[in-house]
């Protein structure tokens, strides 16, 4: 009996995922882009000071216990870049991707242009939606975060980070695009390196920022579709801008 | 002696304006766009309920005393659309532009693509930067407002309104673009009609919204340059989006 109940649950989940994927495809099919449904990662144990210097952590969370270090003693070693969870892991840049996939179960997508479909936007802050994006010979980490910078007023912050060095990151430009209800919002910037802290990027506000009302305008039935494109960047000059 | 002091003051003002215009031209000269320096309009007498039904007002401000009406009895009559000041004037749509120019001294610029250079972004909220834009046979009102939706956290809101009916407004798309420091932010939407209230557009957050930190990233020495373009809109369909 338990077996049949589990089977029925699994079938319902599949139908729900299929429906969300279909919805996204309906919107983005014209562009022939790959659509990835991203479910939220919600943690009640949000540690705003985890970007401070390395310190022992006893916090437990849903995923394996984690801890962030900013002071990496071996410059070749990278602390775990998974946001929201403090993770004690550190390793070489080359193995960050496999750590994120295996330990944190973060999906990886291929392609220059993809659509990130974040579900359940109504969930309370703090909540993260995370995915990896493989493109132009590199891997990028996209983080969408719902956070209350001002108490009682959650906002959405979206940024892209290169799983590589800051010098490598300077060679790229990423674009995040929202498009719905005859409104379009585009953010273009140079990705940060995962050696920098995603928390500081968000607290500096140097990313795509959405108020709840704007996020609702761009959402469809509780899901927010973000078009992502990565290109190699050209040399910027003030005269060439705008 | 007083005459010479006034002359000296006027010359200093001219040099300051010329310098700001030169700065903007340096940034945008490549595009050959018209740059307009827009000084702020600061009012301490901010009336958040001025969009309510018509009522007698005794408020005084720097500009001639004004009052807003939402309930216009003659559908051909339009209340004064100048934000921040409540203005008792109402008149036909055809004379709104001359009222805004003459009574509120709002400049009007010609051209499909212009650059709006808002100065003194550091001024405390509430502050407005307003300009009229003549293009494609119509006049548009651009409003940039600094306002504290959350106490102690001012934000910038930018929107464009057609000096025309909502039906006419649906025929256009406006684009606001910020571009500096290898970052680019674009907002595209259908303009609202001045028959709707600019306050409600801003309180709904259905416009370009900038946190102070992002506004600083896009500012140059306290001035924010916004590229403006207006086009006739195409028919949108969900499949054609993104």
Residues of B engaging A, defined by a Cβ cutoff of 8 Å: 26-31, 33, 115, 149-150, 153, 173, 177, 179-180, 182-190, 204-206, 209-214, 217, 225, 227, 233, 236, 238-242
The residues of chain A scoring below 50 in pLDDT are: 14, 17, 24-31, 44-72, 236-242
Least Cα distance to B165 among B228, B75, B235 occurs for B75
CB contact under 8 A, A241 and B177: no
Look up residue B49 and give its two tokens.
């309920």
Say whether B189 and A184 touch across the interface (CB within 8 A): yes
Q: Which two tokens stand for residue B188?
A: 């595209």
How far is A135 from B74, CA to CA, in rounded Å? 60
pLDDT for res B197? 79
Does the pLDDT at position B161 exceed 50? Answer: yes
Q: Which of A103-107, B128-132, B165-169 has the lowest mean pLDDT?
A: A103-107
pLDDT score of A75: 60
Which among B97, B201, B145 is positioned nearest to B89, based on CA atoms? B97
Q: What is the mean pLDDT of residues B157-169?
A: 93
> Is the CB of B177 less than 8 angstroms away from the CB of A33?
no
Q: Which residue has the higher pLDDT, A90 or B59?
A: A90
Q: From 3.30.470.10, 2.60.210.10, 3.20.20.70, 1.10.10.10, which CATH number describes the B28-38+78-232 domain? A: 2.60.210.10
Is the CB of residue B90 less than 8 Å from the CB of residue B80? Answer: yes
Instruction: Output the pLDDT for position B190.
Output: 96
> Which residue of chain A has the CA closest to B210?
A209
Interface touch A242/B187, C-beta < 8 Å: no
Write out pLDDT tens, residues B73-92: 565 677 776 665 667 787 88
Q: Indicate the SS3 state at residue A38.
A: strand
Query: How high does pLDDT run on average in chain B?
Result: 75
CB B220 within 8 A of CB B194: no
Residue A181's nearest CA partner among A225, A116, A148 is A225
Our CA angle for B53, B191, B167, nearest 5°, is: 75
pLDDT at A60: 32
The pLDDT assigned to A158 comes to 96
- How far apart are the CA of B48 and the nearest CA of chain A, in angstroms? 19
For residue B34, CA distances in Å to A177, A179, B111, B142 come to 28, 28, 8, 15
Measure in Å the smallest separation between the Cα of B62 and chain A Cα atoms.
33
A179 → closest Cβ in B33, B211, B241: B241
Which of A176, A171, A170, A91 shows the shortest CA–CA distance to A133? A176
% of residues, chain B, pLDDT over 70: 65
Q: Which residues of B touch A26 (CB under 8 A)?
A: 238-239
Q: Which chain A residue has the Cα nearest residue B172?
A: A182
Long-range contacts of B128-131 (CB under 8 A, 24+ apart): B128/B40, B128/B41, B128/B42, B128/B43, B128/B83, B128/B84, B129/B38, B129/B39, B129/B40, B129/B41, B130/B38, B130/B41, B130/B82, B130/B83, B130/B104, B130/B106, B131/B36, B131/B38, B131/B106, B131/B107
Q: Could you give the C-alpha distances from B109 to A19, B25, B44, B132, B138, in angstroms and in order?
A: 49, 16, 28, 6, 12
By C-alpha distance, the chain B residue nearest A32 is: B242
The ipTM (two decimal places) reads: 0.74
**Considering only CB atoms, which chain B residues are within 8 Å of A32?**
none
Question: pTM above 0.90?
Answer: no
> Has residue B10 got a pLDDT over 90?
no
Note the pLDDT tens digit of each residue in A93-119: 888 888 888 888 888 888 878 898 999
What is the pLDDT at residue B224? 95
The per-residue pLDDT for B38 is: 76
Q: What is the DSSP track for B20-84?
A: HHHHHHHHHGGGT-EEEEE--EE-S---TTTTSS--------SSSP----S--SSTTEEE---SS
Phi, psi of A33 (to 5 degrees): -90, 155
d(CA B90, CA B93) in angstroms, rounded, equals 9
| Cα distances (angstroms) measured from residue A222 to each of A23, A156, B169 | 12, 14, 29
What is the C-alpha separation between B155 and B153, in angstroms, rounded? 7
User: Per the CB < 8 Å rule, is A186 touching B184?
Assistant: yes
Domain edges within chain B: 28-38+78-232
Residues of B in contact with A202 (CB under 8 A): none
Chain A residue with minimum CA distance to B228:
A242
Nearest to A236 among B182, B205, B236 (CB): B182
CA distances from B209 to A156, A174, B38, B77, B89 (A): 12, 20, 19, 31, 30
pLDDT: which is higher, A14 or B30: A14
**Which residues of chain A neighbour B32 with C-beta distances below 8 Å?**
none
User: Which one, of A129, A213, A138, A137, lies nearest residue A176 by Cα?
Assistant: A129
- What's residue A16's pLDDT? 53
Chain B residues whose beta carbon lies within 8 Å of the beta carbon of residue A24? none
Rounded mean pLDDT of B208-216?
Answer: 92
Cα three-residue angle B67-B142-B159, rounded to 5 degrees: 95
Q: What is the pLDDT of residues B178-203, one digit of tens each?
A: 999 899 999 999 999 988 878 888 88
- Find the CB nearest A217 among B28, B115, B206: B206
């Amino acid at each position: 009996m338990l077996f049949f109940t589990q089977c029925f649950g699994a079938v319902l989940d599949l139908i729900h995922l299929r429906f969300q994927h279909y919805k996204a495809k309906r919107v983005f099919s014209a562009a022939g882009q790959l659509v990835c449904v991203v479910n939220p990662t919600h943690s009640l144990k949000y540690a705003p000071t985890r970007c401070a210097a390395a310190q022992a952590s006893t916090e437990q969370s849903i995923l394996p216990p984690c801890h962030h270090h900013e002071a990496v003693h071996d410059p070749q070693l990278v602390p775990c870049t998974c946001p929201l969870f403090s993770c004690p892991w550190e390793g070489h840049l080359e193995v960050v991707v496999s750590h994120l996939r295996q330990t944190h179960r973060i999906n990886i997508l291929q392609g220059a242009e993809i659509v990130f479909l974040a579900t359940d936007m109504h969930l309370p802050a703090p909540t993260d939606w995370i995915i990896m994006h493989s493109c132009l010979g590199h891997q990028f980490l996209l983080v969408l975060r719902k956070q209350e910078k001002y108490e009682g007023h959650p906002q959405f912050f979206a940024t892209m980070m290169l799983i590589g060095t800051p010098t490598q990151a300077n060679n790229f430009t990423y674009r995040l695009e929202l498009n719905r209800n005859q409104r379009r919002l585009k953010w273009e910037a140079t990705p940060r390196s995962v050696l920098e802290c995603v928390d500081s990027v968000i607290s500096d506000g140097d990313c795509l920022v959405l108020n709840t009302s704007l996020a609702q305008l761009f959402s469809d039935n509780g899901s927010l579709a973000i078009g992502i494109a990565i290109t190699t960047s050209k040399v910027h000059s003030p005269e060439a801008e705008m």
